[in-house]
Amino acid sequence: MDRTKLLFIGGFLGAGKTTLVQQASALLASKGRSVGMITNDQAEELVDTRVLAKSNAVVKEISGSCFCCNYSGFTDVVKELADRNKAVDMILAEPVGSCTDISATILQPLKEQMQTFVEMAPFTVLADPQRLENILDGDNAGMHPSAAYIYRQQLAESDVLLISKTDTVTEGRLQVLTEKLKLTYPDQKVLTVSAKSGAGVEQWLSYVSQSPVSGHRILDVDYDIYAEGEAVLGWLNTSVLLQGKRVDWDSFLKQYFHRLNNLLGTERAIGHIKIMIEATDNSYIIGNQTGPPDTLQFNSSAGGGNVVSMIINARVESDPEQLKQFVFEALAATIGEGAFYKIRQCNILSPGYPRPEHRYRHVVA
């Protein structure tokens, strides 16, 4: 029996990883292949997990730490998905968006310890055109310098560099950006994709399904800068019950984002803010912001109704307590007369110093 293919899809917060995972899963399923997905976050209640669970794939969530700091937990999930009696054909694993040093801490030990279970695919790192262009020009794309360091490290350790969101740039600009990326990283395979339209997804999947290259380099990483780059971000995951009378929940979410952005102001860099409102009939709307307010996009519709659940995932350069205050202040201002909300769960944090279970110094053949 063939081994399960294991594909890591990394990239900084807001690069479009989850949308690509959705598209890839749907495409693989249409070809009769079974898919498992592993999401990852520092805390529970992920919008991504809720959205991906609506597919036909098997979805597992590892929360509380990044993959590298919970390598044993990650391998337990991989073994479960690759179990010979009900093995999936491919596992799509999405690391935390602020995580780097994936090759040394995850890919190498997997190649050495898990080769009987899985076949490693090339490590893909997504990069959105706006941030990528700024980074390649030597700037920090509006991020803290230590966060920009993580972004650059992610690009440098990849096997495949995938320019995402190509539907947001002109063909000429994309060509220039692609050429610049190839010149900067001549050893990586450079591809382009629009997860929104589906353009390039099949070509990328075909490449990573066939190429034997995985974790072909290990970088030197300054863990003090890495830790600072993660710690400057305030993280919030919360789940809330909302209730009102015949509320237009799509309009509600748009108003909420407007109020939240006003409170956050322009001086706080946004990694991403992802919010899902889900109605009792399983209809839902997602708002996703990956930078300034002009990056905000909405997908699907929750329609109108009385009771919904709301999940908020926010990664902002802010003190976590202050971020929490802004999130609920905006909610109180949006909820309206005769309606109320109940907090089911709320986790706030700044990531601690990364301490991986393994860190290999050599590339495993």
**pLDDT tens-digit series, residues 130-162:** 999 999 999 999 999 999 999 999 999 999 999
The pLDDT score that the predictor gives to residue 356 is: 96
The pLDDT score that the predictor gives to residue 332 is: 94
pLDDT exceeds 70 at position 333: yes
The pLDDT score that the predictor gives to residue 273 is: 97
pLDDT exceeds 90 at position 52: no
Average pLDDT on 21-39 reads 93
The pLDDT score that the predictor gives to residue 103 is: 97
Average pLDDT on 304-333 reads 96
User: Between residues 112 and 85, which one has the greater pLDDT?
Assistant: 112
Report the range of poorest mean pLDDT among 75-79, 178-182, 312-316, 333-337. Answer: 333-337
pLDDT exceeds 90 at position 337: no
Per-residue pLDDT band at 117 (split at 50, 70, 90): confident
pLDDT exceeds 60 at position 238: yes
pLDDT exceeds 90 at position 201: yes
Distances (CA, A) of 77 to 99, 117, 278, 350: 19, 12, 27, 26
Q: Quick check: 250 and 302 in contact, CB under 8 A?
A: yes
pTM of the model as a whole: 0.92
The pLDDT score that the predictor gives to residue 84 is: 65
Domains of the chain with CATH codes: 4-229 (3.40.50.300), 234-349 (3.30.70)
User: Between residues 41 and 275, which one has the greater pLDDT?
Assistant: 275
Instruction: Using alpha carbons only, give the angle 279, 282, 288 rounded to the nearest 5 degrees.
Output: 75
The pLDDT score that the predictor gives to residue 85 is: 66
User: Between residues 83 and 321, which one has the greater pLDDT?
Assistant: 321
The pLDDT score that the predictor gives to residue 259 is: 97
pLDDT exceeds 60 at position 1: no
Report the range of poorest mean pLDDT among 52-66, 225-239, 253-267, 351-365. Answer: 52-66
pLDDT above 90 covers a percentage of the chain that reads 85
Average pLDDT, the chain: 93
Sequence-distant (6+) residues with CB within 8 A of 293 are 257, 261
Average pLDDT on 29-34 reads 92
Per-residue pLDDT band at 41 (split at 50, 70, 90): confident
Per-residue pLDDT band at 43 (split at 50, 70, 90): confident
Per-residue pLDDT band at 65 (split at 50, 70, 90): confident
pLDDT exceeds 80 at position 44: no
Instruction: Using alpha carbons only, give the angle 158, 161, 162 rounded to the nearest 5 degrees.
Output: 140
Report the range of poorest mean pLDDT among 30-39, 197-206, 231-240, 334-343. Answer: 334-343
pLDDT exceeds 60 at position 246: yes
The pLDDT score that the predictor gives to residue 83 is: 81
pLDDT tens digits along 249-301: 999 999 999 999 999 998 899 999 999 999 999 999 999 999 999 999 999 99
